[in-house]
Structure 1
Amino acid sequence: MIRPLQPHQLVLDVVGALIGLLFTLPLSFVILTTSLSVWIADPSLEAAHHIVVALIMWGAAAIARLSPPLALAAAWVGAILQMAGGMWPSPVNLAVLMVLFATSAWGSRRVLWLGGASALVGGVIAGLYVALVQQDSFIVDSSYPVRALAFGSLVAAVVLLSLAMSWGGGLLWRIVVKGRRTREAQLRAETAAAEEQERVRIARDMHDIVAHSLAVVIAQADGARYAAAVRPELAQEALGTIAQTARGALSDVRMLLTQLRHRQGDGPQPTLADLEVLLAQVRQAGVEPRVTVDPMPPGEPPAAIQLAVYRILQEALTNAIRHGDGTVDVHLAWLPDRVDIQVRNTVAGDRPASHGGHGIIGMRERAQLIGGNLQAERQGAQFVVRATLPIGPSTGSRAQEAKE
């Protein structure tokens, strides 16, 4: 029944209704004194009747946006009182147009259709009222019924058209506002989805960087602790590797935090050229990967493919460091339409059999983001990671085709 409004909206409606009352009431008196209708015995009673009707009509207009059903009811009360007193349609009835607009623009679904029905019924009643009630405005003769019917039909058509246009204008406003809200909700949902994807991407990168770096640091720290007593030079080398790995991880983490804080785009991402550094860190952690690349990349693969290959290998090798026994086999096959990745490592006897943590989820997400797939499972004493990533024509292939 009552809609929440901002104070300035309510003030604007009340002031607008007051201006409408002050403008239309004097015009109504002018029309009253110059119309074909005659004054009743007491002119002051007729004037009071006009003032009361005007106050009800414009009062309904003042609360039309605040409470469309109450405004519609008040407008009907004013119209009935107007017809009961024999008052001709006058400028104060412009308030009804505002009420009908409000019923279709801001009313509930029921009030919306009540307003439409009121516009239809009001137009018909106005025609009948003018034709049948205001008989004293015509010269009564044998042609009166035809003239009354014609004039009443004309009044009904004009009133009905005016009321329908006002109600239809409110309905159009309702549709526009609803469409705008739907679009805003869609934009908010798209923004939230994009932000969520960005958070997931940063979390995935953070996991890959931190997990790998910490695995290398832990392996080197364990090695340095045992080597310190017998070969101090190896301990010094391990400590240097720890420092280098930690600095690199710190730099990568700072870059990710900067992107998260300032909503910046992607920074420099690792490529295939960085795989040697990754393999060197794995070797320093005590794991000697046996790497096979067959066939070799025909050209420069897309950057997204290079990043996915690097991150998948990084996580798979990190798992080999944490859960393996020091042996791992890596095989890359760069085919014309895809790259196949396979990483096998023997699982240490005292290590857990499951590797179903965030790293596996992150690898699978990376593969899926570029249209590929990834499987990670234990097969006997080995843990196997297989991935297939689709690729388009490489840069070198396109250049060669262009030359031909």
Structure 2
Amino acid sequence: MFPVSSGQPLIWGVTVSLFMTGALAVRRLSPALALGIAWAGAIMQMGLGLNPMPSNIAIFAVLYVTAAYGRRWLFWAGFASAVLGALVITLYLVLATTFVQGGLSLATVSVAAVTLVAATFALLLAWTAGALVRASTRARENRAAQERAEAEAVAEQERVRIARDMHDVVAHSLAVVIAQADGARYAAASSPAHDGSAPDEVAVHALATISTTARAALADVRLLLTQLRHSQADGPQPTLADLEDLYAQVRAAGVAVTVDIDPMPRAEVPAGVQLAVYRILQEALTNALRHGDARAVAVTQAWHPDRVELGVRNRVPDGAVPHRSGHGLIGMAERASLVGGTLRAGVESGEFAVHAALPIGAGR
């Protein structure tokens, strides 16, 4: 060993041990500070010419935490410290002593090489153990993040399903209620009773209240749909056979719905296309009730071998601007897109027209 270490006061050994103990104590609170303290203690130890001490084991713990819990720069600083520390240990324990005692020899170089390999292996082993713990921790965090993302995706799908059902069922029903209440109120207010007396003010007021309440409910539904962005999801699965019920419901609201189907379907229509046709027509009729002059609505269907073409037209009140934003038109476009079709909507010759082309059969 370094001969100058003999005869050093005990106080120096205790001081170096305190440095190493301090580095060990703060290694989890601040790995960077622990690495700095360990280097300061090692430099002091070599400067005083002290022999290796049991407290030097703290160096392995410090290298471990730099790799396991340090930031990226500290991670690589720990690696550099392990390599540099092995070189410094070799110079201090072997080569410096050899120069003091009279020069190098083949045996001395061999001992230095073995010492360098052993020191590098020992220090890098501690650092590598920390790196493995770091990788394991990152893997657990990634798995937890993936599980959270999957849970959020499931919740989002559920919100999507609820929003779609609300839009397709609740909003449509409220629009029909509003149209019926308004029609009945106007009829009651403008027509005398059977006995020739004045219209029943109580009935008119009640119908007005129904209309106002339904409009408020519809506004609340649209507000919820703003928060629950809707798209295709599982829900009620109506078919073409349910279209007659849809037309009957709209006619009951006082709307003259004419339906022209030419040509008729010649083969079994895929369930997805049937659902898209129903939802697009349902939304188009709801928009006619809500925004247009819904006294007359024309519906056309043309079932070609490779596609079905849908059309819904109704007059636009003078000066009225149809709503071109919101969930209705977006929902219809999504329904068409999901089955590979297209949809356009806009004012044509004083009428608001919805046109959709959905592929079927070979066209899909």
Query: Matched residues in 2 for 1:121 and 1:286: separation?
Result: 89
The answer as to whether partners of 1:104 and 1:115 remain within 8 angstroms in 2 is yes
| Equivalent residues in 2 for 1:3-402, closer than 5 Å | 40-41=6-7, 45-46=9-10, 48-134=11-97, 145-228=105-188, 229=191, 266-293=234-261, 294-296=263-265, 298-302=267-271, 304-322=272-290, 323-349=292-318, 351-391=320-360
Match of 1:78, as an amino acid?
G
CA–CA separation in structure 2 for the residues paired with 1:191 and 1:369: 24
Counterpart Cα distance in 1 of 2:12 and 2:64: 26
Tell me the SS of whatever aligns to 1:352: coil
Q: TM (normalized to structure 2)?
A: 0.76
The CA distance in 2 between the partners of 1:367 and 1:195, in whole Å, is 25
Is the alpha carbon distance of 1:231 and 1:318 closer, same or farther for their aligned partners in structure 2, counting shifts above 3 Å?
Answer: farther
| Aligned-partner SS, 1:279 | helix
Q: How far is 1:343 from its partner?
A: 1.3
Alpha-carbon displacement from aligned partner over 1:33-77 (angstroms, at most 9, x marks no partner): xx99898347xx44x544443332243133222211111111112
CA drift at 1:353: 4.1
Q: Which deviations, in whole Å up to 9, do the C-alpha atoms of 1:219-247 show, x marking residues without a partner?
A: 32233335554687xx99xx9xx9xxx9x
Q: Report % sequence identity.
A: 50
In structure 2, relative to structure 1, the CA distance for the partners of 1:112 and 1:355 (3 Å cut) is closer
Contact 2:237 2:275 in 1 (8 A): yes
Give the aligned residue type for 1:168.
Answer: T
Is contact 1:104-1:112 (8 Å) kept?
yes
Classify 1:162/1:375 alpha carbon distance in 2 versus 1 (closer, same or farther; 3 Å). same
CA contact (8 A) 2:2 2:49 kept: no
The 1-side partners of 2:171 and 2:293 are apart by 15
Q: CA deviation at 1:157?
A: 1.1
Q: How far is the alpha carbon of 1:339 from its aligned partner?
A: 3.4
Give the letter aligned to residue 40 of structure 1.
Answer: S
Deviations 1:129-185 (A, max 9, x none): 11134459x9x799x633222212211111112222322333343344334434544
CA distance in 1, matches of 2:341, 2:140: 38
* Counterpart-to-counterpart distance in 2, 1:381 and 1:335: 28
Partners of 1:337 and 1:171 lie apart in 2 by: 61
| Structure 1 position 96, deviation (Å) | 1.2
Q: Is the contact between residue 325 and residue 348 of structure 1 (CA under 8 Å) also seen in structure 2?
A: no
Q: Please tell me the residue identity of whatever aligns with 1:128.
A: L
1:65 alignment partner, SS class:
coil
Residue 331 to residue 40, structure 1, CA distance change in 2 (3 Å): same
Letter of the aligned partner of 1:150 in structure 2?
S
- Hey, what's the Cα distance between the residues in 2 that align with 1:185 and 1:171? 21
* Aligned 8 A contact 1:337 1:392 in 2: yes
By how many angstroms is 1:90 displaced? Answer: 4.6
TM-score (norm 1): 0.69
Q: Which residue in 2 is equivalent to 1:399?
A: none
Q: Which gives a bigger RCO, structure 1 or 2 (Cα 8 Å, sep 6+)?
A: 2
| Structure 2 unaligned regions, length at least 5 | 195-199
| Superposed displacement of residue 115, structure 1 | 1.6
**Distance between the aligned counterparts of 2:95 and 2:147, measured in 1?**
57
Q: By how many angstroms is 1:392 displaced?
A: 6.0
Q: 1:288 to 1:50 in 2, by over 3 A?
A: same
State the Cα RMSD in Å: 3.9
Deviations 1:278-330 (A, max 9, x none): 1101111122222233331611522x433322221111011222312422222
Distance 1:219 1:197 in 2: 32
What CA distance in whole angstroms lies between the structure 2 residues aligned with 1:202 and 1:226?
Answer: 35
State the one-letter code of the partner of 2:311.
Q
* Structure 1 range deviating more: 113-122 or 161-170: 161-170
Note the residue ranges of structure 1 that are not aligned, 5 or more in a row: 1-34, 395-404
Q: How far is 1:393 from its partner?
A: 7.5
Please say if residues 5 and 49 of structure 2, whose CA atoms lie closer than 8 Å, have aligned partners that are also in contact. Answer: no
In the TM superposition, residue 106 of structure 1 has moved relative to its aligned partner by 2.1
Deviation at 1:193, TM superposition (A): 4.8
